[in-house]
Structure 1
Amino acid sequence: MTLVDPRRDPAAAAPVPNGFGPMLRKEDGRFVRGRGRFVDDIDLPGMLHGAVLRSPYAHARIVSIDTGGALAHPKVRAVITGADLERRGMAWLPTLSHDVAAVLATDKVRYQGQEIAFVVAEDRYSARDALALIDVEYEPLAPVVDARRALDPDAPLVRDEVPGRADNHVFDWEAGDAAATDAAFAAAEHVSTCDLLYPRVHPAPLETCGIVAALDPVTDRLVVHCTTQAPHAHRTLYATLTGIPEHRIRIVAPDIGGGFGNKVALYPGYLCAVYAATITGAPVKWTEDRSENLMSTSFARDYHMHGEIAATKDGRITGLRVRVLADHGAFNGTSQPSKFPAGFFHIFTGSYAIQAAHCRVTGVYTNKAPGGVAYACSFRITEASYLVERMVDVLAFDLGLDPAQVRRKNLLRPEQFPYRCATGWVYDSGDYPRALEQALEMAEYAELRAEQAQRRAEYERTGEGALLGIGLSTFTEAVGAGPKKQMDIGGLGMADAAELSVHPDGTAELRLSCMSQGQGHETTFAQIIAHELGISPYAVNVVQGDTDRTPFGLGTYGSRSTPVSGAAAATAARRVRERAKLVAAAMLEISPADLEWEAGRWQVRGDPAAGASLAEIARAAHGSLELPDDLEGQLSGRCVYNPPNLTFPFGAYVCVVEVDPGTGQVRVRRFVAVDDCGVRINPTVVEGQIHGGLADGIGMALMEVLAFDTDGNHLGASFMDYLLPTALECPSWELGQTVTPSPHHPLGAKGIGESATVGAPAAVVNAVLDAIGVRHADMPLTPAQVWSAMRGRPLRTDLAVR
């Protein structure tokens, strides 16, 4: 018997039933064989290498920069400073939040690790060695590192280059109805308050950021291979900054080893490599090391939050009021496309029917690295979800109620959808109580509470044994950045495109504007086309990441892939199918109205034997068949999809932990996750996304933090200091699901890439605090933090006093 390899003979492969269902990822074959192609694998003839000189200070005037020693190095070809970029009008880089950031510092440095100079040499080692030969004279200045001091009258001024600026204020923004909320609090039977910190964390992708920039001497084009999640947006930005017309720029994003929002922005190292390629005439590669990635590329979170929740004595929530101080670092470089300075934090009422709600967010500059990426969340929803889930637990703690009962009392009901929340967004669909009940049943919640009581009694009697904690989280995510009227990047609307062509042999090519960083696009999008056209997913080639071969779009982040690009692909396929119907009618010499679609073929209604398969139709469309005058030949379709609304996946999580009261050590014993992401295209891919997000949540809750000392020194610049979870810290995940299709998405899909990271941190924190009987302590709940919290003195986790 001869086995057929579907990757070699796609026409012989049987379709996955309905296109959707479990299927091994098509891209994994090359990855497990070491045949992936990443930016650092690219080695062009005559290629030079770049290295960045970074500031050791968080705040200092630059008195002088002497590059003579570096230029004297025999292998150094160029040293670029901010003055060089100023002469080309490239000294300042526009951010995605309508601010500007220095590419290379000229007047002063504003955070430790800020870029000062760029060395270009014949090899990477010589470039890095030459950095030590650059002599920079600094005049140290006092930094402001604590966001809570940034607006003090005597606080050091971070952005003194801006004429008329007198303080570190970035923005004030609010959402909700302040008057109605104040009235709800005035009438409340009970009010709980809590101060919370969501500390600064980092996406820490496996592959750091990198670029290879080259001028093609034949075509006179700039060709950039880059670790970017948004190739077309990067092309537009390069054109704007360099003056090179966009049609003379090609961006290629090869395989990317994780992004998580970290690879949305345009970083100074990228622009310096492009500039270096133009002045040397040679290709220039720059790849950052791990410390550079952790110190200077976009962070996430860093929100100081004050929450107030109003309720009846039996736990019915009547109002929610929030005040937030957002630390944006030295430049407002937040990678979020919404027109709201605080992103989607204003979807802060979560999964609950809270009609009286108001939040106010104030952004400030500090002497820290800029940014604030959409790190596995949709632009601040993670902070909002953490806030409301902690406040619900604080309310239950204060009233002596079961956290599950408080949630049951306040969750949105299915009949309330579509639901307009207190800040105006319309949730598309959901059955939140069903997800919660499934999670509680899977976790055996009542039995866990009985075990917890038994353990506490034993501990009080003997002083020995681990404490058991059960934490809940019921969250709503909002994904699919768009529609264009509310979201853009640099004036570019958040729509995405897909182009589909069916070849004469019946195989197809799908060209996407989004870009995978490990999400499995080559498989999932092939299944979408298979579902719509009735062909094998192995017969579909998915093209992405090359601006010469793909339509314009804004890229992949904020869990946009399926909600936006997936909708574009499905719509393009339906247009192909309708064109195929007209071709089939011409082939069969009947009216299109007499045809019906059935699993990959158009057939005559009432006579299934008479019809034509998609491959036969494609051959005819490319051949000499006489078609109606208004029908073009070939089979192709295109869609630019502007979503009518966000999609709103949701879930209910139960985390079970054991805490050693003597050491504060936390062990996650179980984690039950019930997610609803609408229609699931490939359940295996969905589960993989959830697994990664749950691990992220454990990391953020228990160990991850970018901390600084009072001089602004970065205390998490290596994986010895910035801890990430491993398999040892993660349990065997227990996954459940509900399926509530989105009514406005062509496939009913909602997206899943970021849900687990939104819901998991609160579940873990709630579990740990439930175990030790403490009302609140800030993340990360390290052993030292847990031990101190048990003794009534929680630690400050984001700032270390020297």
Structure 2
Amino acid sequence: MTSTQHTAPSTTSPAGNPIGFGRMLRKEDARFLRGQGHYLDDLVVPGMLHAAILRSPVAHARIVSIDTSQAEAHPKVRAVITGATLESLNLAWMPTLSADVQAVLATDKVRFQGQEVAMVVAEDKYSARDALELIDVEYDDLPPVVDARKALDPDAPVIRDDVEGRTDNHIFDWEAGDKARADEVFAAADVVVTQEMLYPRVHPAPMETCGTIASMDRVTGRLTVWSTNQAPHAHRTIYALVAGIPEHNIQIISPDIGGGFGNKVGIYPGYVLAVVGSILTGKPVKWVEDRGENLMSTSFARDYHMKGEIAATRDGRILGVRVDVLADHGAFNGTAQPTKFPAGFFHIFTGSYDLEAAYCKVTGVYTNKAPGGVAYACSFRITEAVYLVERMVDLLADELGADPAELRLKNLLRPEQFPYVSKTGWEYDSGDYPRALKKAMEIAGYDELRREQREKRERGELMGIGISFFTEGVGAGPRKHMDILGLGMADGCELRLHPTGKAQLRLSVQTQGQGHETTFAQIVSHELGIPPEDIDVIHGDTSNTPFGLGTYGSRSTPVSGAAAAVAAQRVRDKARVITAAALECSTDDLEWEQGRWYVKGDPSQGKTIAEVSMLAHGTLELPEGVEGHLDASVVYDPPNLTYPFGAYICVVDVDSGTGQVTVRRFIAVDDCGPRVNPMIVEGQVHGGLADGVGMALMQVIAFDEDGNCVGGSFMDYLLPTSMECPSWETGETVTPSPHHPLGLKGIGESATVGSPPAVVNAVIDALEPYGVRHADMPLTPANVWMAMQGRPMRTDLAVQ
């Protein structure tokens, strides 16, 4: 397959933008660059009150008593809400995205530091914060469980003792693959390599924290909610289930969102509490969390203890992979992932390689940590799976004395094997994996880098070269296999053309900065020839958009992008019928060119889409069965996931005295199918690479033995800046997905999936003279220095 199937047209609009695919500036940036974005904390609703949440200072304790009398006496306080208040309204518990239940406010006990205990509603946000100090809560401390490995000990405190009959902290056991076959393959293998590793807890840390404004109209019974969320329609359904308000009386509006990365998929107690506050006071109530609340109590990601095994022949043919995972899901299982897959897509631990057998077991446990487990810039645990398999391949290369690039080239899936069904049953759609890795090696100058490394080692300098190859599974569909709380993962899309040929496209996905208003306009432009600036993309309002499950798992372009393409194709087909009626010819006599239908052999006889739209709204007598207007509505149920992939190479230098890691070069070759807007794709890749460098080298949410969160501010939770990132070197290959209408695969999370193992592999490669085989992320200077201690450096090692 080649990119020529979907080549962007060369024509441009009057504004100079491409008609269809191509590089153009983002339509939405005009308002953002002028400071005219509409973010939640900018919104002021008449009569609005402000809310603040009292959070538990301890990780595990019984609540003996809560005294709110002094807070209620505050002159500016309008309401104080406790768990008892919610119990009287039957709103004490709410469903999580994993079909667990979570306390909106703690009633019997607190189960993690930062858990919501009470909410104050006041006339201004300062008074609401001040009044929190007036609430007196007496706690009876309990021993916390912060280590997932100890959560299943028989004598471990039971965290979810609110569930009748529960006697331990076990959530689920889940497996994929063929255990018996994997055991056979491992028993016969020449080489078996085993390694335990941790993918630590990290946080999306979006620029804008979570918040909401809830306004309940007591007269009409209508609830309007403005919130920073990635899935407005799913939120509306859950509000209806929790609060008992008829769904048609709920409107969810998501304004501009300052980043989400999965953090804004779920419903947090603060959202529900704002609704309760509005019900009780009869006024709109606004709640916006601060940075500490965001880091401490909203959904985290990762926190997987993993044991990997890889089997191979002596000459380097990979035979099988076995994985045993312990997943820390916090105090409530709120992990955002499809119902049928409690461990997410850990099926893709087989990576990008042609194996004989694979088996994976995942055990989920409760701990006294914040709940959740978002699809943080990854498609439901693919990031952890790719990290594990790519570390194991490097460990195998070390065991065999093989070059890690050559070992991968020997085992990568070949183009003729696609569509390829993995040993866990997932069908990879298309790809030329060796070509992508060879291109990355060419850009990097791989042989020259290895020569440079040999010379530096002879001088006692530490230089590392790390490689990772990843396959992602994105799109979150089809609905028969994937749902959240029974809601199938299909997306709606509505396209409407006005009489003058201008268009409105209504989407069910919600942007958080990815450029949806530009990308989706270009998709419609590609199909209809309408200038992108003449296409208005509407999203983020449940009363003005069709139902869908929102944005996460890189599903926007693979699912809603497909919906938009199909809707545009249906409009084009209808325009053909109307054109034939106007020109008094058969539809078979018409041919399509960019933006118009014309008579075969006589291009002068034709109608542009704009002209057809006017005819569709006018007096032209239309054929029987053809309604007026020019529009289409689509519910797109993807037949399969799409599978973008990439090859990454990282070059690092390590200071032997301090352990400081410097990322000197990073080469990323991605294949996401045809690129609608290369500039937006590059921006997604650049951001994801920075994200991955941060996770590999500095980001971690840690806890002390008492369950105190270490990493609750940007003084402790470090994020990468331009100082820690090199100038990215990017490349591309193009293999369209055979089942997407335009061949598009998605790109939003690829770089975050592929970059951490490349960085870690590079650091471990640099530390080879010290005999270091593995070290867990984050590879901070202290952790790297500790890995080197007690190990004399050797300068006589050959570089593979």
Could you say whether these structures have the same fold, taking a TM-score greater than 0.5 normalized by the shorter chain as the test? yes
701, 717, 735: which one aligns with 1:706: 701
Measure, in 1, the Cα distance between the counterparts of 2:788 and 2:507. 52
The residue number in structure 2 matching 1:214 is: 215
Comparing 588-597 and 169-178, the one that deviates more: 588-597
The residue number in structure 1 matching 2:608 is: 613
Measure, in 2, the Cα distance between the counterparts of 1:229 and 1:392. 35
The residue number in structure 1 matching 2:780 is: 782
Measure, in 2, the Cα distance between the counterparts of 1:96 and 1:22. 37
Equivalent position SS for 2:127: helix
Q: 1:30-429 alignment to 2 at 5 Å?
A: 30-216=31-217, 219-429=220-430
The residue number in structure 1 matching 2:512 is: 517
The residue number in structure 1 matching 2:565 is: 570
The residue number in structure 1 matching 2:587 is: 592
- Structure 1 position 673 matched with structure 2 position 668: yes
Q: CA deviation at 1:393?
A: 0.5
The residue number in structure 2 matching 1:747 is: 742
Question: Could you tell me which amino acid in structure 1 is paired with residue 543 of structure 2?
Answer: D
Question: Could you tell me which amino acid in structure 2 is paired with residue 127 of structure 1?
Answer: A
The residue number in structure 1 matching 2:18 is: 16
The residue number in structure 2 matching 1:798 is: none
| Deviation sequence 1:380-409 (CA, Å, 0-9, x none) | 000000000000011111221111111011
Measure, in 2, the Cα distance between the counterparts of 1:12 and 1:548. 33
Q: CA deviation at 1:13?
A: 3.4
| Deviation sequence 1:148-201 (CA, Å, 0-9, x none) | 000001111101111111110000000000011000111011110000100000
Measure, in 1, the Cα distance between the counterparts of 2:184 and 2:216. 64
Q: CA deviation at 1:367?
A: 0.3
Q: CA deviation at 1:215?
A: 2.1
Q: CA deviation at 1:316?
A: 1.1
516, 534, 543: which one aligns with 1:548: 543
| Deviation sequence 1:519-543 (CA, Å, 0-9, x none) | 0000000000000001100010000
Q: 1:433-472 alignment to 2 at 5 Å?
A: 433-459=434-460, 466-472=461-467
The residue number in structure 1 matching 2:637 is: 642
Measure, in 1, the Cα distance between the counterparts of 2:215 and 2:695. 39
Question: Could you tell me which amino acid in structure 2 is paired with residue 97 of structure 1?
Answer: S
Equivalent position SS for 2:686: helix
| Deviation sequence 1:664-719 (CA, Å, 0-9, x none) | 00000000000000111000000000000000000000000000001000000000
The residue number in structure 1 matching 2:6 is: none
The residue number in structure 2 matching 1:502 is: 497
Q: CA deviation at 1:338?
A: 4.6
Unaligned 5+ runs, structure 2: 1-11, 792-800
532, 543, 552: which one aligns with 1:537: 532
Does the CA contact (< 8 Å) of 1:15 and 1:530 recur in 2?
no
Q: CA deviation at 1:216?
A: 3.8
Equivalent position SS for 2:345: helix
The residue number in structure 1 matching 2:7 is: none
The residue number in structure 1 matching 2:760 is: 765
Equivalent position SS for 1:182: helix
Does the CA contact (< 8 Å) of 1:355 and 1:421 recur in 2?
no
Q: CA deviation at 1:357?
A: 0.5
The residue number in structure 2 matching 1:559 is: 554
Question: Could you tell me which amino acid in structure 2 is paired with residue 470 of structure 1?
Answer: I
Equivalent position SS for 1:347: helix
Does the CA contact (< 8 Å) of 1:61 and 1:141 recur in 2?
yes
Question: Could you tell me which amino acid in structure 2 is paired with residue 136 of structure 1?
Answer: V
Does the CA contact (< 8 Å) of 2:339 and 2:485 recur in 1?
no
Equivalent position SS for 1:559: coil
Q: CA deviation at 1:136?
A: 0.4
Q: CA deviation at 1:624?
A: 1.1
Measure, in 1, the Cα distance between the counterparts of 2:565 and 2:166. 49
| Deviation sequence 1:327-386 (CA, Å, 0-9, x none) | 000011001125111010111111111121101000000000000000000000000000
Unaligned 5+ runs, structure 1: 1-9, 460-465, 794-802
| Deviation sequence 1:610-649 (CA, Å, 0-9, x none) | 0111111111111111112311000001110000000000
Does the CA contact (< 8 Å) of 1:338 and 1:344 recur in 2?
no
User: What TM-score, normalized to structure 2?
Assistant: 0.96
Measure, in 1, the Cα distance between the counterparts of 2:411 and 2:494. 44
| Deviation sequence 1:399-440 (CA, Å, 0-9, x none) | 211111110111111111000001000000000000000001
Question: Could you tell me which amino acid in structure 1 is paired with residue 18 of structure 2?
Answer: V
Equivalent position SS for 2:350: coil
Equivalent position SS for 1:273: helix
Measure, in 2, the Cα distance between the counterparts of 1:290 and 1:355. 47
| Deviation sequence 1:71-123 (CA, Å, 0-9, x none) | 01000000001111111111111011111010000000000000000100000
Question: Could you tell me which amino acid in structure 2 is paired with residue 393 of structure 1?
Answer: D
Does the CA contact (< 8 Å) of 2:506 and 2:545 recur in 1?
yes
Q: CA deviation at 1:659?
A: 0.4
| Deviation sequence 1:195-246 (CA, Å, 0-9, x none) | 0100000000000000011124674411110001000000001111111101
Equivalent position SS for 2:624: coil
Measure, in 2, the Cα distance between the counterparts of 1:141 and 1:554. 39
Q: CA deviation at 1:792?
A: 5.3
Does the CA contact (< 8 Å) of 2:217 and 2:282 recur in 1?
no
Measure, in 2, the Cα distance between the counterparts of 1:215 and 1:711. 40
Identity across aligned pairs (percent)? Answer: 72
Equivalent position SS for 2:522: helix
Measure, in 2, the Cα distance between the counterparts of 1:747 and 1:337. 26
Measure, in 2, the Cα distance between the counterparts of 1:227 and 1:89. 25
Measure, in 1, the Cα distance between the counterparts of 2:400 and 2:591. 61
Question: Could you tell me which amino acid in structure 1 is paired with residue 740 of structure 2?
Answer: H
- Structure 1 position 487 matched with structure 2 position 472: no
Q: CA deviation at 1:589?
A: 1.3
The residue number in structure 2 matching 1:688 is: 683
Measure, in 2, the Cα distance between the counterparts of 1:450 and 1:12. 52
Does the CA contact (< 8 Å) of 1:484 and 1:493 recur in 2?
yes
Does the CA contact (< 8 Å) of 1:534 and 1:601 recur in 2?
yes
